[in-house]
Chains A and B, each alone.
Chain A
Protein backbone atom coordinates (compact mmCIF):
# COMPACT_ATOMS: atom_id res chain seq x y z
CA UNK A 1 0.00 0.00 0.00
CA UNK A 2 1.30 3.42 -0.96
CA UNK A 3 2.29 5.52 2.03
CA UNK A 4 3.52 9.05 2.72
CA UNK A 5 4.97 10.10 6.09
CA UNK A 6 5.70 13.70 6.96
CA UNK A 7 7.77 15.04 9.81
CA UNK A 8 7.64 16.86 12.06
CA UNK A 9 3.90 16.90 12.63
CA UNK A 10 4.11 20.45 13.89
CA UNK A 11 6.73 23.13 14.25
CA UNK A 12 6.92 26.57 15.83
CA UNK A 13 9.66 28.98 14.74
CA UNK A 14 10.42 32.69 14.91
CA UNK A 15 10.40 35.02 11.95
CA UNK A 16 13.67 34.86 10.08
CA UNK A 17 14.37 31.24 10.96
CA UNK A 18 14.99 28.61 8.30
CA UNK A 19 12.87 25.45 8.42
CA UNK A 20 13.13 22.07 6.76
CA UNK A 21 10.08 19.88 6.34
CA UNK A 22 10.46 16.21 5.55
CA UNK A 23 8.48 13.78 3.45
CA UNK A 24 9.26 10.09 3.03
CA UNK A 25 7.26 7.78 0.83
CA UNK A 26 6.65 4.25 -0.30
CA UNK A 27 4.92 3.93 -3.63
CA UNK A 28 4.91 1.39 -6.42
CA UNK A 29 5.88 2.88 -9.79
CA UNK A 30 6.63 6.35 -8.50
CA UNK A 31 5.81 9.15 -10.92
CA UNK A 32 5.95 12.41 -8.99
CA UNK A 33 5.92 14.04 -5.56
CA UNK A 34 4.02 17.22 -4.90
CA UNK A 35 4.01 19.83 -2.16
CA UNK A 36 0.95 21.90 -1.27
CA UNK A 37 0.42 24.75 1.18
CA UNK A 38 -2.89 24.80 3.03
CA UNK A 39 -3.75 28.11 4.60
CA UNK A 40 -7.14 28.21 6.22
CA UNK A 41 -8.95 25.89 3.86
CA UNK A 42 -7.96 25.31 0.21
CA UNK A 43 -4.55 23.71 -0.51
CA UNK A 44 -2.50 25.50 -3.15
CA UNK A 45 0.18 23.92 -5.31
CA UNK A 46 3.84 24.63 -4.53
CA UNK A 47 6.11 22.17 -6.34
CA UNK A 48 6.09 18.99 -8.38
CA UNK A 49 9.25 16.87 -8.32
CA UNK A 50 9.99 13.97 -10.62
CA UNK A 51 13.78 13.73 -10.82
CA UNK A 52 16.34 13.21 -8.07
CA UNK A 53 18.74 15.96 -7.16
CA UNK A 54 17.11 18.77 -9.10
CA UNK A 55 16.11 21.59 -6.83
CA UNK A 56 12.89 23.43 -7.48
CA UNK A 57 12.86 26.99 -6.18
CA UNK A 58 10.26 29.67 -5.74
CA UNK A 59 11.33 32.72 -3.80
CA UNK A 60 12.23 31.63 -0.27
CA UNK A 61 10.88 28.12 -0.79
CA UNK A 62 12.83 25.27 -2.33
CA UNK A 63 12.42 21.54 -2.57
CA UNK A 64 14.45 18.56 -3.64
CA UNK A 65 13.77 14.87 -4.19
CA UNK A 66 15.91 11.82 -3.45
CA UNK A 67 14.46 8.86 -5.32
CA UNK A 68 17.06 6.46 -3.99
CA UNK A 69 16.32 7.17 -0.34
CA UNK A 70 12.63 7.86 -1.08
CA UNK A 71 12.25 11.26 0.50
CA UNK A 72 11.86 14.92 -0.22
CA UNK A 73 12.50 18.06 1.78
CA UNK A 74 10.88 21.45 1.62
CA UNK A 75 13.02 24.35 2.81
CA UNK A 76 11.74 27.76 3.76
CA UNK A 77 14.34 30.43 4.44
CA UNK A 78 13.83 33.73 6.27
CA UNK A 79 10.39 32.62 7.42
CA UNK A 80 7.55 35.12 7.71
CA UNK A 81 4.28 34.95 9.59
CA UNK A 82 2.56 34.45 6.24
CA UNK A 83 4.32 31.11 5.92
CA UNK A 84 2.19 29.77 8.76
CA UNK A 85 0.15 26.96 7.24
CA UNK A 86 -0.18 23.21 6.90
CA UNK A 87 2.28 21.84 4.34
CA UNK A 88 1.10 18.72 2.56
CA UNK A 89 3.20 16.23 0.66
CA UNK A 90 1.62 13.86 -1.86
CA UNK A 91 2.85 11.20 -4.27
CA UNK A 92 1.53 9.93 -7.55
CA UNK A 93 2.17 6.56 -9.18
CA UNK A 94 2.34 5.80 -12.89
CA UNK A 95 -0.97 4.47 -14.07
CA UNK A 96 -2.69 5.85 -11.01
CA UNK A 97 -5.22 8.60 -11.06
CA UNK A 98 -5.03 9.87 -7.55
CA UNK A 99 -2.63 11.46 -5.12
CA UNK A 100 -1.70 9.82 -1.81
CA UNK A 101 -1.25 12.50 0.84
CA UNK A 102 0.77 12.62 4.01
CA UNK A 103 -0.72 13.91 7.28
CA UNK A 104 0.90 17.30 6.79
CA UNK A 105 3.21 19.47 8.87
CA UNK A 106 1.68 22.36 10.78
CA UNK A 107 4.06 25.30 10.67
CA UNK A 108 3.57 28.32 12.89
CA UNK A 109 5.84 31.31 12.49
CA UNK A 110 5.85 33.69 15.45
CA UNK A 111 6.63 37.37 15.05
Chain B
Protein backbone atom coordinates (compact mmCIF):
# COMPACT_ATOMS: atom_id res chain seq x y z
CA UNK B 1 0.00 0.00 0.00
CA UNK B 2 1.21 3.52 -0.75
CA UNK B 3 1.68 5.88 2.10
CA UNK B 4 3.94 7.80 4.43
CA UNK B 5 5.83 6.07 7.19
CA UNK B 6 7.20 7.95 10.15
CA UNK B 7 9.47 6.39 12.72
CA UNK B 8 9.81 6.02 15.53
CA UNK B 9 6.34 6.58 16.99
CA UNK B 10 7.86 7.73 20.27
CA UNK B 11 11.27 9.25 20.86
CA UNK B 12 13.02 10.54 23.94
CA UNK B 13 15.79 13.10 23.84
CA UNK B 14 18.37 13.83 26.49
CA UNK B 15 19.70 17.31 27.11
CA UNK B 16 22.23 18.36 24.49
CA UNK B 17 21.43 15.47 22.20
CA UNK B 18 20.52 15.61 18.53
CA UNK B 19 17.81 13.23 17.38
CA UNK B 20 16.58 12.37 13.90
CA UNK B 21 13.00 11.62 12.92
CA UNK B 22 12.47 9.50 9.85
CA UNK B 23 9.90 10.11 7.11
CA UNK B 24 9.60 7.85 4.08
CA UNK B 25 6.97 7.92 1.33
CA UNK B 26 6.27 5.59 -1.57
CA UNK B 27 3.65 7.79 -3.21
CA UNK B 28 6.12 9.21 -5.75
CA UNK B 29 5.39 12.68 -4.41
CA UNK B 30 7.81 15.49 -5.18
CA UNK B 31 6.97 17.71 -2.21
CA UNK B 32 7.45 16.82 1.45
CA UNK B 33 6.80 18.79 4.64
CA UNK B 34 7.47 18.72 8.36
CA UNK B 35 4.96 20.15 10.81
CA UNK B 36 5.07 20.50 14.56
CA UNK B 37 1.89 20.18 16.63
CA UNK B 38 1.68 21.41 20.22
CA UNK B 39 -1.37 20.97 22.45
CA UNK B 40 -3.89 23.75 21.87
CA UNK B 41 -2.02 24.98 18.82
CA UNK B 42 -2.33 24.33 15.14
CA UNK B 43 0.23 22.65 12.94
CA UNK B 44 3.24 24.85 12.33
CA UNK B 45 5.52 24.38 9.35
CA UNK B 46 9.16 23.62 10.15
CA UNK B 47 10.69 22.83 6.74
CA UNK B 48 9.49 21.83 3.30
CA UNK B 49 11.05 20.47 0.15
CA UNK B 50 9.53 20.66 -3.30
CA UNK B 51 12.25 18.73 -5.08
CA UNK B 52 15.22 16.51 -4.31
CA UNK B 53 18.30 18.36 -3.02
CA UNK B 54 16.33 21.49 -2.26
CA UNK B 55 14.43 22.57 0.86
CA UNK B 56 13.11 25.76 2.41
CA UNK B 57 12.62 27.00 5.95
CA UNK B 58 9.11 27.21 7.26
CA UNK B 59 7.84 29.37 10.09
CA UNK B 60 9.72 27.71 12.95
CA UNK B 61 12.94 26.29 11.46
CA UNK B 62 15.29 27.38 14.24
CA UNK B 63 16.83 24.40 16.02
CA UNK B 64 15.93 21.97 13.25
CA UNK B 65 17.67 20.70 10.13
CA UNK B 66 16.62 18.54 7.19
CA UNK B 67 18.04 16.84 4.13
CA UNK B 68 16.47 15.63 0.89
CA UNK B 69 18.93 13.35 -0.79
CA UNK B 70 16.26 10.99 -2.12
CA UNK B 71 12.75 11.65 -3.35
CA UNK B 72 11.32 9.13 -0.92
CA UNK B 73 13.00 10.39 2.23
CA UNK B 74 12.91 13.65 4.22
CA UNK B 75 14.49 13.17 7.66
CA UNK B 76 14.23 15.85 10.32
CA UNK B 77 16.97 16.41 12.90
CA UNK B 78 16.05 18.11 16.13
CA UNK B 79 19.26 19.69 17.34
CA UNK B 80 20.34 20.66 20.82
CA UNK B 81 19.65 24.27 19.82
CA UNK B 82 15.91 23.54 19.92
CA UNK B 83 15.19 24.35 23.55
CA UNK B 84 11.60 23.19 23.64
CA UNK B 85 11.44 20.11 21.42
CA UNK B 86 8.64 18.27 23.17
CA UNK B 87 5.86 18.06 20.58
CA UNK B 88 4.11 15.86 18.07
CA UNK B 89 5.84 15.92 14.68
CA UNK B 90 3.95 15.24 11.47
CA UNK B 91 5.45 14.60 8.06
CA UNK B 92 3.39 15.12 4.89
CA UNK B 93 3.81 14.83 1.15
CA UNK B 94 2.00 16.01 -1.94
CA UNK B 95 2.08 16.28 -5.69
CA UNK B 96 2.74 19.82 -6.94
CA UNK B 97 -0.34 21.34 -8.52
CA UNK B 98 -2.61 19.28 -6.33
CA UNK B 99 -0.71 19.85 -3.18
CA UNK B 100 -3.30 21.33 -0.91
CA UNK B 101 -6.06 18.85 -1.59
CA UNK B 102 -3.71 15.90 -1.86
CA UNK B 103 -1.65 16.49 1.26
CA UNK B 104 -1.01 13.08 2.81
CA UNK B 105 0.14 12.87 6.41
CA UNK B 106 2.11 10.25 8.25
CA UNK B 107 1.07 8.99 11.68
CA UNK B 108 3.52 11.20 13.51
CA UNK B 109 6.33 10.98 16.04
CA UNK B 110 5.87 12.08 19.65
CA UNK B 111 9.15 13.56 20.90
CA UNK B 112 9.72 14.06 24.61
CA UNK B 113 12.65 15.40 26.59
CA UNK B 114 14.06 13.30 29.42
Contacts and interface: CB of A to CB of B under 8 A. Distances in A.
A98 interface: yes
B108 interface: yes
Interface stretch (B43-51, B63-71, B74-82): B43-51
Given A9-B40, A88-B43, A98-B58, A45 B101 contact: yes
B42 interface: yes
B107 A32 contact: no
Given A42-B108, A88-B42, A88-B43, A99 B103 contact: yes
Interface in A50-93: 88, 90, 92
A42 B100 contact: no
A34 B98 CA distance: 13
A101 B42 contact: yes
Interface of A: 4, 6, 9, 31-32, 34, 40-45, 48, 88, 90, 92, 97-104
A100 B47 CA distance: 13
A58 B81 CA distance: 45
Nearest to B42: A101
Report the 6 A-B pairs with minimum CB-CB distance, sorted nearest first.
Answer: A101-B42, A101-B43, A41-B107, A42-B105, A41-B108, A42-B107
A45 B101 CA distance: 7
B6 to A, nearest CB: 9
Given A41-B107, A97-B50, A102 B101 contact: no
Contacts of B23: none
A48 B101 CA distance: 7
A45 B99 CA distance: 12
A9 B56 CA distance: 31
Given A45-B103, A48-B100, A101-B44, 10 more contacts: A4-B42, A42-B90, A42-B105, A42-B106, A88-B42, A90-B43, A97-B48, A98-B48, A98-B58, A99-B100
Contacts of A43: 43, 90, 105
